[in-house]
Amino acid sequence: MTATSNILPLFVGISLAGAFLTSIVGKKLKWLPDLMGSLTTLILLGLSLITVRIVATQGILVYSVGGWKLPIGIALVLDGLTVFMLVTVNLMAFFIAIYSINYMEKFTSKWKFYTLFLLMVAGMNGVVITGDMFNLFVFLEIASVASYALVAFGTERHELEAAFKYTVMSIVGSLFVLLGIVFLYSYTSTLNMADMANILAQKSASNITIMVSVLFIMGFGLKAALVPFHAWLPDAHPSAPAPISAMLSGVLIKSLGVYTLCRVFYNVIGINSSLSLILMVLGTLSMVIGVFLAIGQWDFKRLLAYHSISQIGYVILGIGLGTPLGMIGGLFHLFNHSVFKSLLFLNSGAVEYATGTRDLQKMGGLMTKMPITGTTSLVASMSIAGIPPFNGFWSKLIIIIACVQANRLGYAFWAVLASILTLASFMKVMKYAFFGKLREKWNKVEEVPVFMKLSMVILALICVVGGVLLIYNINEVFLKPASDVLLEGTKYADIVFKGIQ
């Protein structure tokens, strides 16, 4: 327990304080919600960058909330994977908050938006940083409930319908997770993840762990929108306002779905070959079915939503492989996907802001009128399609090489096929939306305001230089510690207990 570990509860505390202060004073002072949103997420981004250094120098940090010692109280754990997720979540949250300053002008009551937005960020940070099983469920619910309200933010008919569908399906997922936690608690008599991993390792394998694994795959898989559980995503993501689509697709499904799947299966229950096979098959299914469903879409945001399913498939395939290279590829793709998919959703929001339509067939030639949106969108499209030297290329390459190395050529084939189909569908987007002849009615279209441009340009820059994360020195402090946490498997428990001193 050192002074630096006091940073851990701040990730939840600051975002909650921002949310409730916005809801108290934001109604009266019109300028405050924008400032609160950007400032809070900026502080969180700064803190999460500091944690990269802390973990690199001091190793894993464990914090006991309220001074209660480890197996009894709630523990917060800062390890490589947590740092990786914190940076991803807060980086996206900051740029999306900047983007919303201009974009949310067309909605009334911005303060409600920022309150819910910050609550969602608090929930995601909490899920990532907690070391306690039930605490994870509570934060999962905070983030989910905030996102239900945000999907319905426009309160049009189809938005309410999508939000209702999302709410029902997501609550079913949460109930599976809760049931799984109940079984684990009754079996191990503890809620602390590290303690739970210890006890599960001591007890011999039993049917309870298999049952719990199935429940968790259903619950967390539904949050991550893996293919048999994906039906809510193509409705919910396009209906939300663009910054929220970016947030949901960029980080919510990853921190509530992919991160929790990794943490529970690798560090608590312990991975075995059949679980790994299930993850890989689900990942490949999502990858291929997602892209086939995406290719025929004409609604810009709906197409992007189907691509989210497909790209999450890559992440799960990489992580499910279980080899060091596969882990790095999967986690790297997680980071890259959150950058370029957020950027694409922000682009679609910018197009909708300027022209008022999301139908690709009605657009055309917007590149001449909206050069910055067009260029950033081109960068993001090439990233997601895996064209060198953009970041998406490197992570897909690593995943495919990892598949070949593990002698799983079939999976490698599907990954390549899905990548080619992704390229095809984004060539369609580019051709219909930004290139081609400008239509008469878009002659008066103007480029979007400054803050929207700013956040899109910076995200596009991250797409271009994203490959540097693989350079040895940077990889050593950012990606490798994260994949090491997963590779250590259930040794996580010993490391956490050592961290508490």
Partner 1 sequence: MSKEHDKGMSLIVKVITRLTVGLILLFGIYIVLHGHVSPGGGFAGGVIIALSFVHLMLAYGKDVALKKLPKTAMSFFESMGAILFLSIALLGFTGGYFFLNFISKGEPFRLFSAGTIPLSNIAISLKVGAGLFAIFVVLVLLKFEWEKKE
Assess contact for 196 and 188: CB atoms under 8 A: yes
The rounded Cα 194 to chain-centroid distance in angstroms is 24
Q: Closest approach of Cβ 142 to partner 1, in Å?
A: 12
Pick out residues in 27-56 that bind partner 1 (CB under 8 A): 27
Nearest approach, Cβ of 62 to partner 1 (angstroms)? 13
Nearer to partner 1, 39 or 417 (CB): 39
Contacts made by residues 107-110, CB under 8 angstroms, sequence distance 24+: 107/153, 107/154, 107/241, 109/27, 110/26, 110/30, 110/33, 110/34
User: Under the criterion CB under 8 A, does residue 315 sit at the interface with partner 1?
Assistant: no
DSSP for 29-63, please give it: -TTHHHHHHHHHHHHHHHHHHHHHHHHHHH--EEE
Tell the smallest beta-carbon distance from residue 368 to partner 1 (Å).
45
> Quick one: tokens of 97?
């908050």
Residue nearer to partner 1 on the CB measure, 7 or 401: 7
For residues 497 and 185, give the distance between their C-alpha atoms in angstroms, rounded to a whole number: 19
When asked if residue 228 is in the footprint of partner 1 (CB under 8 A), the reply is no
Stretch that binds partner 1, among 43-51, 57-65, 301-309, 487-495 (CB under 8 A): 57-65
Size of the site for partner 1 (CB under 8 A): 16
Smaller CB separation from partner 1, 23 or 376: 23
Determine which residue in the list 57, 67, 69, 186 makes contact with partner 1, applying CB under 8 A: 67
In sequence order, the β-bridge partners of residue 64 are: 75
Regarding 4 and contact with partner 1 (CB under 8 A), the answer is no
Name the phi and psi angles at 417, rounded to 5.
-60, -45
Q: How far is the CB of 86 from partner 1 (least distance, A)?
A: 17
Beta strands, E only, 269-312:
none
Structural tokens at position 201: 């390792």
Does position 23 interact with partner 1 (CB under 8 A)? The reply is: yes
Shortest Cβ distance from residue 277 to partner 1 (Å)?
41
Closest to 15 measured CA to CA, from 39, 35, 51, 50: 39
Return the closest-CA partner of residue 214 out of 170, 258, 179, 169: 179
Min. distance of Cβ 129 from partner 1 in angstroms?
Answer: 12
Nearest distance, CB of residue 13 and partner 1, angstroms: 6
Which region, judged by CB under 8 A, interacts with partner 1, from 64-72, 233-241, 243-251, 269-277?
64-72
When asked if residue 65 is in the footprint of partner 1 (CB under 8 A), the reply is: yes
Identify residues 69-108 at the interface with partner 1 (CB under 8 A): none
User: Shortest Cβ distance from residue 74 to partner 1 (Å)?
Assistant: 8
Q: By C-beta, is 36 or 415 nearer to partner 1?
A: 36
- Residue 316, judged by CB atoms within 10 A of its CB (0-12, 13-18, 19+), counts as buried
Q: What's the min distance (Å) between Cβ of 64 and partner 1?
A: 7
* Binds partner 1 by CB under 8 A, chosen from 32, 37, 45, 63: 63
State in angstroms the smallest separation of the CB of 173 from partner 1.
23
- The region of 12-20, 35-43, 371-379, 427-435 touching partner 1 under the rule CB under 8 A is 12-20
In terms of CB distance, is 64 or 323 closer to partner 1? Answer: 64
Task: Please state the closest distance from residue 367 (CB atom) to partner 1, in A.
Answer: 44
> Does 9 help bind partner 1 (rule: CB under 8 A)?
yes
Alpha helix segments (H runs only) across 225-272: 233-239, 242-247, 253, 259-262
Q: Which stretch binds partner 1 (CB under 8 A): 22-30, 38-46, 134-142, 256-264?
A: 22-30
Instruction: Output the DSSP codes for 132-188.
Output: BHHHHHHHHHHHHHHHHHHHTTT--HHHHHHHHHHHHHHHHHHHHHHHHHHHHHHHH
Q: For partner 1, which is the closer residue by CB, 27 or 362?
A: 27
Q: How many residues in the chain? A: 501
Question: Could you identify the residue written with the tokens 């790095």?
Answer: 328
The residue written with tokens 């909708």 in the block is 352
Cα separation of the two ends of the chain: 7
Q: Which is nearer to partner 1, 65 or 281 (CB)?
A: 65
Asked whether position 21 contacts partner 1 by CB under 8 A, the answer is yes
Q: What is the 3-state secondary structure (H, E, C) of 424-472?
A: HHHHHHHHHHHCCCCCHHHCCCCCCCHHHHHHHHHHHHHHHHHHHHHCH
For partner 1, the binding residue among 13, 46, 228, 389 (CB under 8 A) is 13
Instruction: Please report how close the Cβ of residue 63 comes to partner 1 at its closest, in angstroms.
Output: 7
- Name the one range near partner 1 by CB under 8 A: 10-18, 35-43, 330-338, 489-497: 10-18
Q: Identify the residue whose tokens are 């937005």.
A: 117
Amino acid at 427: M
Encoded one letter per residue, x for contact with partner 1 by CB under 8 A and - for no contact, window 135-154 reads --------------------
- CA angle 308/302/240 to nearest 5° reads 90
Distance CA 299, CA 314 (A): 23
Give the Cβ contact number of residue 420 at 10 Å. Answer: 11
Contact positions toward partner 1, by CB under 8 A? Answer: 6, 8-9, 13, 16-17, 20-21, 23-24, 27, 63-67
